[in-house]
Structure 1
Amino acid sequence: MASTSTPVWRDTERCYRAVTARDQRFDGQFIMAVRTTGIYCRPSCPALTPKAQNVRFYPTSAAAQAGGYRACRRCLPDAVPGSPHWNVRADLAARAMRLISDGLVERDGVPGLARRLGYSERQLGRVLTAELGAGPLALARAHRAHSARLLIEMSQLPLTDVAFAAGFSSVRQFNETIREVFATTPSQLRAASLRRGRRGEPSTATRLSLRLPFRAPFDVHGVLRYHASGALRGIEAFEGGATVVGYGRTLRLPHGAGVFWTCPQPDHVRCDLALTDLRDLGSAVTRIRRLLDLDADPEAVARVLAADPALAPLVTATPGVRVPGAVDGSEVLLRTLLGNSAARLVHLGEPLSLHLGEPTSDGPGPTRAGDSVRPGSDSPVLCSEPTSPHLHELSSARLGGPLPAEAAHSTEPDSPSSVESGPSFPVAVSGAAAPRAAVSESVPPCARRSSEPPMDTLTTLFPTPEAVADADVTPLVRKAATALADGRLDLHVGRDPDELRDDLLATGVDPATTAYVVMRLLGSPDVLLSADPAVRQGADALGIDLATSARAWRPWSSYAGMYLRTLAVQAVRGEFS
């Protein structure tokens, strides 16, 4: 799958084999363009496989569009997981793609993108064209087209409003782009969506129901439980006990606030999203995908880690482990420092967030289950009550609170004894140690409920660095918050990992927390948290020397660390032998 050296799209024989097999694992990793039809497709397109001499491969849809091709309306090549390469790579092109996906060009233009990356516009354009087949404007245009298609198909917004919400500067530009990319008009695209049975949200024009695809296998319960383990009331909510079946939180976005709720399904994650400003759609979707690591390539990870005899049983037992990401760099740093400076994150973090966090009451409010759930529709099914007797241990009164006693070892951020040997971060806990080949075998379907969903508890945004700097916090937390507030410390997904490490260390952040923030914020796949007691405990149980094994695990040592932490928790719970 994803190569760490030669990009997969340059290996034409390998790409054509994937196209012939209609291998969905390659969707999002390259684009297939057909010279005879003038369209570009995902590798798994169900259409008749073209002859090899008539096919050309591109790294991005923007490159295919620049080559004069239009998107296939049958396979919708943009409705796939994103490329895993942007996290594996740390070069300029990858960092630029992360920022473009977050909507930076729509907000600050190409000059703003170049400034963030520390390059001139000319240098940036030359590198992106050479590496990705298109310049920053073309890449941003493809991103806008994707956001526009989502709004056209998933909402009942007037098309004029869709144009500006997707980031277009004029209706004319919107119409021309849709026509060039999809070979149809916006109104025809919406009509085709209605014929396929998709109906947009009829309510407030700020609520959307989305399907977020992922590459199987996917240990969805592990990543959801990870985020639930340190949830702060009002900011985050989750549903479930030993198995977390739903998770949501608030988002601080460039143009306003957002609230989302996710519920796993067999081949996608259902996401109900409410925004105060629809211009934030692309940014919100990108951040949710990063939070859950939905663009990961589990086959590539497993191929490397399963080659280690010590790790192989863990990879088989829990396929598709993900590395949890972050929706906001400032938040992940401050929350981590708060967790390291108190006996328990929620004891300090919740009062801080409830007193200093900004309310989302001026926003759209949560979507109610009855607003959009229809039999056979693509709308999300929100869980408002526990779906089995085993989940009553976490009722709605405790959403976002501590996990049950059985998981106490995984949720305790730090105790005085563990701080000396390195911070212990929340552990992604799998629901069971038995093999699980696919998410469909382990996810109980969310049932429709008549009462309000847990999304209604999401009322607060995490405090800004300015608010934290003025609060009664430890000197280190105040120093970091002040550096964030005055711009001396800039945390965004386009940062170079080495430069980010240097900046965090210069601020006074310890090396273990620095590594954790780099892993979470950038989605870096090769950060082994060797100072984490849970990682060390898992390694000791397997007789692994971390310093030696880390070299063999590259470039996926972050995922190896997640497996070791999972083993440590399962050993405490008596689930793994």
Structure 2
Amino acid sequence: MLVGMRLSTFSERLSFQSPLCPDNLFGHLIATAVPGVEEWRDGVYRRTLRLPCGFGIASLKPFPDHVACTLELSDPRDSATALDLCRFLLDLDADPLVVDAALSADPLLAPLVSAAPGRRVPRTVDGAEFAIRAVLGQQVSTKAARTHAARLVAAYGTPVGDLFSFPLAFDVGELAVPESRRRTMAALLGALESGLDLSPGADRAVAREWLLSLPGFGPWTVETILMRSLGDDDAFLPTDLGIRLAAEALGLPTTPAALLRRSEAWRPWRAYAVQHLWATGDHEVNRIPA
């Protein structure tokens, strides 16, 4: 807990290979932000970090040639880990020239890539947290998912400065969700307690198999977790409504099986194709608030 504690503050310029399109990157994080854990204030995205030696808060602001990063840490030994998490969150180690060239080889995707080169995949700083949030978001709107998560944070979150750390343990019986969703959440929490690793360095095949074995975990939820938590560049969501609507507008197949076959041409960068397809829709995740 950081309340009342003296914090160590660090500032760094996070570099990246240009170009970088910040619209969907920060737009997605802002639109899905959990109140109390994340916020967008004065052009800066802030969120809490769970770290090996304590907790922290990261403040991130995009510029044309770097991302300004300020860290507030309870233990300065966590600085290197915190910086790595921020880079992973924003996918700053991607090579957009390689990704964009590969996707542009498809004439249907080429105009999207040309219009917004350097799209990154918005990720997470905590794989377990994201998996819990993914379950809370099953079959509900973005707004409803944020509301469920905010209630969880208010009841179980750990204060970190003026924010809270997202809880990884709680009574699933108190969730205002259908009983089937409670069973899914209980299974996930049990798997995490038993060693399910959803960190960036985890074995993706093992994580995929374990997640698919849990009740209520279909391909959409599993692939979303692999994309955002484990950094799988080739994760793909053929059943996603936004993806299917974009596919229809572009003249791509719209049935999941046919779209999955068509997506083979985008390997191993299908997670980036997802970002371009999502961006064809008019949704707040695709833009940074004014």
Do these two structures clear the TM 0.5 threshold for a shared fold by scoring above it?
yes
Report the residue type matching 1:314 in the other structure: L
Q: In the alignment, is residue 520 of structure 1 matched against residue 228 of structure 2?
A: yes
Report the residue type matching 2:84 in the other structure: T
The structural deviation recorded for 1:210 is: 0.7
Which one of the candidate residues 103, 121, 124 is aligned to 1:326?
Answer: 124
Q: Which residue in 2 is equivalent to 1:208?
A: 10
SS in structure 2 at match of 1:272: strand
Higher relative contact order (CA 8 A, sep 6+): 2
Alignment of 1:487-502 (within 5 A): 487-502=194-209
Report the residue type matching 2:227 in the other structure: M
Q: Which residue in 1 is equivalent to 2:277?
A: 564
Structure 2: how far apart are the matches of 1:468 and 1:325?
A: 27
Structure 2: how far apart are the matches of 1:554 and 1:491?
A: 22
The structural deviation recorded for 1:355 is: 1.2
Which one of the candidate residues 348, 363, 379 is aligned to 2:148?
Answer: 348
Structure 2: how far apart are the matches of 1:228 and 1:483?
A: 29
Q: Which residue in 1 is equivalent to 2:36?
A: 234
Distance of aligned partners of 1:205 and 1:233 in 2 relative to their CA distance in 1, 3 Å threshold: closer
Q: In the alignment, is residue 531 of structure 1 matched against residue 239 of structure 2?
A: yes
> Residue by residue, what CA displacement relative to the aligned partner does 1:128-177 show, whole Å, maximum 9, x if unpaired?
xxxxxxxxxxxxxxxxxxxxxxxxxxxxxxxxxxxxxxxxxxxxxxxxxx
Q: Choose 1 or 2 for highest CA Rg.
A: 1
> Residue by residue, what CA displacement relative to the aligned partner does 1:89-142 show, whole Å, maximum 9, x if unpaired?
xxxxxxxxxxxxxxxxxxxxxxxxxxxxxxxxxxxxxxxxxxxxxxxxxxxxxx
SS in structure 1 at match of 2:279: helix
Report the residue type matching 1:352 in the other structure: L
Q: Which residue in 1 is equivalent to 2:113?
A: 315
Structure 1: how far apart are the matches of 2:171 and 2:92?
A: 31
Q: In the alignment, is residue 467 of structure 1 matched against residue 170 of structure 2?
A: yes
Structure 1: how far apart are the matches of 2:241 and 2:29?
A: 19
Q: In the alignment, is residue 504 of structure 1 matched against residue 205 of structure 2?
A: no
SS in structure 2 at match of 1:324: coil
Q: Which residue in 1 is equivalent to 2:21?
A: 219
Contact 1:206–1:276, Cα closer than 8 Å, also in 2 = yes
Contact 1:224–1:246, Cα closer than 8 Å, also in 2 = no
TM-score where L is the length of structure 1:
0.44
Contact 1:353–1:462, Cα closer than 8 Å, also in 2 = yes
The structural deviation recorded for 1:521 is: 1.3
Contact 2:24–2:275, Cα closer than 8 Å, also in 1 = no
> Residue by residue, what CA displacement relative to the aligned partner does 1:159-204 show, whole Å, maximum 9, x if unpaired?
xxxxxxxxxxxxxxxxxxxxxxxxxxxxxxxxxxxxxxxxxxxxx6
Report the residue type matching 2:148 in the other structure: L
Structure 1: how far apart are the matches of 2:90 and 2:154?
A: 25
Q: Which residue in 1 is equivalent to 2:3?
A: none
The structural deviation recorded for 1:265 is: 1.6
Contact 1:497–1:518, Cα closer than 8 Å, also in 2 = yes
The structural deviation recorded for 1:469 is: 4.5
SS in structure 2 at match of 1:314: helix
> Residue by residue, what CA displacement relative to the aligned partner does 1:296-331 show, whole Å, maximum 9, x if unpaired?
110001111111111111111111111111111110
TM-score where L is the length of structure 2:
0.87
Which one of the candidate residues 92, 101, 113 is aligned to 1:294?
Answer: 92
SS in structure 1 at match of 2:282: helix
Structure 1: how far apart are the matches of 2:171 and 2:240?
A: 26
Structure 1: how far apart are the matches of 2:136 and 2:280?
A: 26
> Residue by residue, what CA displacement relative to the aligned partner does 1:65-98 show, whole Å, maximum 9, x if unpaired?
xxxxxxxxxxxxxxxxxxxxxxxxxxxxxxxxxx
Distance of aligned partners of 1:468 and 1:461 in 2 relative to their CA distance in 1, 3 Å threshold: farther
Q: Give unpaired runs (5+ residues) of structure 1.
A: 1-203, 366-457
The structural deviation recorded for 1:544 is: 1.0
The structural deviation recorded for 1:251 is: 0.7
Structure 1: how far apart are the matches of 2:186 and 2:35?
A: 22
Report the residue type matching 1:287 in the other structure: L
The structural deviation recorded for 1:342 is: 4.4
Structure 2: how far apart are the matches of 1:533 and 1:219?
A: 23
Contact 2:153–2:167, Cα closer than 8 Å, also in 1 = yes
Distance of aligned partners of 1:256 and 1:503 in 2 relative to their CA distance in 1, 3 Å threshold: same
Alignment of 1:377-526 (within 5 A): 458-464=162-168, 466-467=169-170, 469=172, 471-472=174-175, 474-484=182-192, 486-508=193-215, 509-526=217-234
Structure 1: how far apart are the matches of 2:234 and 2:82?
A: 25
Which one of the candidate residues 223, 234, 254 is aligned to 2:52?
Answer: 254
Contact 2:7–2:74, Cα closer than 8 Å, also in 1 = no
Structure 2: how far apart are the matches of 1:468 and 1:290?
A: 30
Distance of aligned partners of 1:231 and 1:528 in 2 relative to their CA distance in 1, 3 Å threshold: same
The structural deviation recorded for 1:482 is: 2.5
Q: Which residue in 1 is equivalent to 2:249?
A: 541
SS in structure 2 at match of 1:210: strand
Report the residue type matching 2:201 in the other structure: G
Structure 1: how far apart are the matches of 2:282 and 2:108?
A: 17
